[in-house]
Amino acid sequence: MPANSNSFPPTDFYDDPANSLGYLTRIAHRAFSRQLERRTQLAGISSGQWPFLRVLWNQEGMSQRELSRRVGMQEPTTVSALNSLEKSGLVRREPSREDRRKIHIFLTPKGHALRTEMMSSVAEVNDIATRGIDPEDMATLRRVLAKLSENLAHDELYGDSASAA
């Protein structure tokens, strides 16, 4: 099939899961997640807590609602994760000074201190995953995955609610 072709392959092309981009990305995602979770659990970080820490290490002080949006989780899931992170002494909640209905989330010193260790784990997993792959191919992969995500997010029929095939 030619690159950048707008024509669809025959339907039976997708009978083989190895031809489905959704299947391949899901398998890769699960492999990354398993490897990373093995490392984060050693530091006492659960897979449910991990995405919230990742976002907060880059920007803290956002509202619970904004944090939910950035992580891509429903607000009740965010509340459960934040309860757990707060109980572990990794985050603290502060009421907004402008809007009493809003709660802002901040890392504690303990939460900040985990960043170096956890990001070393991220680098280690990425190093393992990319062994033997040319750096130019990795740059292409990053660009292509970003474009796939953008295309799916802007799908006119289903928008952001569509899931990978």
Tens digit of each residue's pLDDT (9 = 90 or more) over 97-109: 888 888 999 999 9
Strands annotated E in 34-102:
91-95
Contact of 105 with 56, CB cutoff 8 Å: yes
Domains recognised in the chain with CATH numbers: 18-154 (1.10.10.10)
| pLDDT at position 85 | 96
**Residue found under tokens 């030619």:** 2
| pLDDT at position 12 | 83
How big is the CA angle at 88 (ends 59 and 37), to the nearest 5 degrees?
Answer: 75
| pLDDT at position 25 | 94
Digits of tens for pLDDT over the chain (165 positions)?
A: 444 456 778 878 888 888 889 999 999 999 999 999 999 999 899 988 999 999 999 999 999 999 999 998 998 999 999 999 999 999 999 998 888 888 999 999 999 999 999 999 999 999 999 999 999 999 999 999 999 989 988 886 765 544 444
Rounded Cα distance, 40 and 156, in Å: 38
Nearest to 63 by CA among 20, 38, 100, 115: 100
pTM above the 0.95 mark?
A: no
| pLDDT at position 163 | 44
Nearest to 39 by CA among 113, 126, 99: 126
